[in-house]
Amino acid sequence: MKYNPKAQTILALETSCDESAVALVCFEQGSFHVKANLVASQIDEHAKWGGVVPEIASRRHLESLPLLVEQALVQSGILIEEIDAIASTVAPGLAGALLVGSVTGRTLAALHQKPFLGIHHLEGHLASVFLSKEPPKPPYIVLLVSGGHTELIQVSKNCEFKRLGRSHDDAAGEAFDKVARLLGFSYPGGPAIENLAITGNPMAFLLPKGKVSRPEGGFYPYDFSFSGLKTAMLRQVQALKSSSSKLPLEDLAASFENIVAEVLVERSIRCTLDQELRTLLMVGGVAANKRLRQRMSETSLLNGIHLYMAPKSFCTDNAAMIGAAAILRLQSGVTQSSINLGVSPRCPLDQANCLYEPNPPF
Ligand code: KG4
Ligand code: ZN
């Protein structure tokens, strides 16, 4: 086979929270190909404690990563010598968990003399759309909806990010998780609410949309707040419990899911149109939600907006998206991160370029 100088193969690791993930992603003939994509979830273990225990997460990443790397190589049939670069998530996330993925990636890179790229976790989510058949071209707006973030981001060209909107309290995924717990379901709450909502009436309960006031008057048009909605759900459940024996779980779930979808769709479309853009992306764990995908598709179509959604299988945390982000970085001219690059639990997406500075800030 003829060598194609533009082909790239990346070994990618993701360990920012409670999923140990390893993937092999190639860029060939103008498109992205996932050759292996393995995720070892720790959800069951953390569920016993009612949330993610950082110490347990780090230990499980340490145990899982070597096996996952070996399995990914075997599954893909790719030899480590054929890999062009190694990428690990380095921010944001749980510091100890990030360290395991970062040290593993840097060690493999040093051992096999490959460049190492530290990747911003949210940049990974944004890149998940490139794993679909038809990748988007900037400029565009991205709605990033996960368990930790709800943001509207403007991308003027690949790897150039500007945040235009954010949640002032809970992320949308966090709201799904807390409301699911209120209704008696364990983490992750999104899929549980989605299943319940299928047979529920989305108009059964009137719920608030959560606007964020500006100090000078009016509201931030692209910002979100889910804490009022969470409290309204709590009050509704308390009132229902005192007056009836059985909670209408399906109607509660459908009404909650519906109002979250409505808010996310309204503000994303408004943001895209206000910036005079015609392309919108939707990524992150909550982007897997069927009602949200449907409503976003319908409203985008009505407004002449071209919508790209991450494939459902790449919405929740995975390493294939980290591999895709690394390929986009290489294509933007970055060659590697400094071997001194550490990890950071907090780092806004619009500062992701610092991961490629010769003297990174962490
Ligand atoms: O992107 P992700 O895997 O992790 C973070 O980076 O946060 O997102 C996890 C979040 C959880 O809050 C989970 O409840 C939510 O995504 N989620 C969903 C669905 N699947 C996962 N929310 C609504 N509907 C779903 N189908
Ligand atoms: Zn994530």
In this chain, the answer to whether the domains covering 8-128+315-356 and 138-309 adopt an identical fold is yes
Q: How far is the CA of 176 from the centre of ligand 1 (A)?
A: 8
When computed from its CA atoms, the radius of gyration of the chain, rounded to whole angstroms, is 21
Q: Bridge partners of 39?
A: 21
Q: Are 131 and 315 in contact (CB under 8 A)?
A: no
Residue to substitute in 89, 126, 316 for testing ligand 1 pocket (most ligand atoms within 8 angstroms of CB)? 316
Q: For residues 129, 134, 136 and 142, what is the CA-based torsion angle, rounded to 10 degrees?
A: -30
Q: Residue 93: CB within 6 Å of ligand 1? A: no
Ligand 1 atom closest to residue 189's alpha carbon, by position in its atom list: 14
Q: Are 43 and 18 in contact (CB under 8 A)?
A: yes
pLDDT at 244 (0 to 100): 79
Distance CA 191, CA 293 (A): 14
Q: Residue 176: CB within 6 Å of ligand 1? A: yes
pLDDT at 3 (0 to 100): 39
pLDDT at 6 (0 to 100): 64
Q: How far is the CA of 220 from the centre of ligand 1 (A)?
A: 25
What's the angle, vertex CA 273, arms to CA 269 and CA 279, rounded to 5?
75
From the centroid of its chain, how far is CA 332?
A: 22
3-class DSSP state of 13? strand
pLDDT at 254 (0 to 100): 98
pLDDT at 329 (0 to 100): 97
Q: Residue 191: CB within 6 Å of ligand 1? A: yes
Q: How far is the CA of 122 from the centre of ligand 2 (A)?
A: 7
Q: Residue 124: CB within 6 Å of ligand 1? A: no
Q: Quick one: DSSP state of residue 358?
A: S
Q: Bridge partners of 163?
A: 153
Q: How far is the CA of 180 from the centre of ligand 1 (A)?
A: 12
Q: Are 115 and 336 in contact (CB under 8 A)?
A: yes
Q: Are 255 and 200 in contact (CB under 8 A)?
A: yes
Q: Are 182 and 246 in contact (CB under 8 A)?
A: no
Q: Bridge partners of 91?
A: 120
Q: Residue 16: CB within 6 Å of ligand 1? A: no
**Angle, helices 189-197/172-182, rounded to nearest 10 degrees:** 70
Q: Residue 14: CB within 6 Å of ligand 1? A: no
Q: Residue 286: CB within 6 Å of ligand 1? A: yes
Q: Residue 92: CB within 6 Å of ligand 1? A: no
Amino acid code (one letter) for 222 = Y
| Domain layout of the chain by residue ranges | 8-128+315-356, 138-309
Q: For residues 196, 199, 205 and 210, what is the CA-based torsion angle, rounded to 10 degrees?
A: 50
For residue 149, give the ligand nearest its CA.
Answer: 1
Q: Are 193 and 253 in contact (CB under 8 A)?
A: yes
Architecture of 8-128+315-356 per CATH? 2-Layer Sandwich (3.30)
DSSP 172-232: HHHHHHHHHHHTT-PSPHHHHHHHHHTTS-TTSS-------B-TTSSB-TT-B--HHHHHH
Q: How far is the CA of 247 from the centre of ligand 2 (A)?
A: 32
User: Which among 144, 138, 89 has a CA at the least distance from the CA of 117?
Assistant: 89
From the centroid of its chain, how far is CA 25?
A: 18
Model confidence pLDDT, tens digit, residues 63-108? 999 999 999 999 999 999 999 999 999 999 999 999 999 999 999 9
pLDDT at 200 (0 to 100): 98
pLDDT at 49 (0 to 100): 83
138-309: what CATH class? alpha beta
Distance CA 266, CA 173 (A): 18
The model's pTM: 0.96
What are φ and ψ of residue 358, in 5° steps? Answer: -65, -30
Ligand 1 atom closest to residue 172's alpha carbon, by position in its atom list: 12
DSSP 309-339: E--GGGTSS-SHHHHHHHHHHHHTT-----T
Q: Is 115 exposed, middle or buried (0-12, 13-18, 19+ CB in 10 A)?
A: middle
10-residue stretch averages of pLDDT, the chain, 362 residues long: 64 96 96 97 85 92 98 97 97 98 97 98 98 94 97 96 97 96 93 98 97 96 97 97 90 98 98 98 98 98 98 97 97 94 96 97 96
pLDDT at 187 (0 to 100): 86
Q: Residue 177: CB within 6 Å of ligand 1? A: yes
Residue with CA closest to ligand 1 atom 3:
316
